Structure 1
Amino acid sequence: MSETNIESLLPGVFYRKPAPDQPPYVEVGDEVVAGQTIGLVEIMKQYSEITAPSDGTLTKFLVEDNAMLDPGAAVAILQTEEA
């Protein structure tokens, strides 16, 4: 097994939910597939998805909901079966 950081390509505010009254995209321990949305980054009222780069298990979020992100910031850790 290996661990991969899921990173934000953009600066902005990180959101774990699609809207305040909706559940998070994923929770720690959830299985995800490549391309699955795990959160959003908002910059100047434009929203971009942060997606899983491969199949695996999301083991940890490294930033809190509503946190400011820098470009390249690690958002979460994904555990994969790949070596």
Structure 2
Amino acid sequence: MKRMSNPLLDKSTVTVYFSSEYLHVQVKGKARLNIPLKNFPRLERATAKQRDNFTLSYGGGIHWEDIDEDINIEALYAGAIRDMTNR
């Protein structure tokens, strides 16, 4: 049985970076998403070093161990993740 590779687990196909007010996510072949950091209070409060220390997790998520944050990439593209300021 051939194992299908998941492009969301490959850092060469997923770009994650930050500007002063936004989390930017882009999967190869898809539009870049610009999500306000205020939607993710843990990321907003994190240091630049903590933000840059992420892994891609099984199932297509972005995981930040240092701040205990997980964001599902497919949910971002589907528009399912919106205002998270009450967390």
Fold agreement, TM-score > 0.5: no
TM-score, normalised with respect to structure 2: 0.34
Higher RCO (CA-CA < 8 Å; seq separation 6+): 1
TM-score, normalised with respect to structure 1: 0.35
Larger relative helix fraction: 2
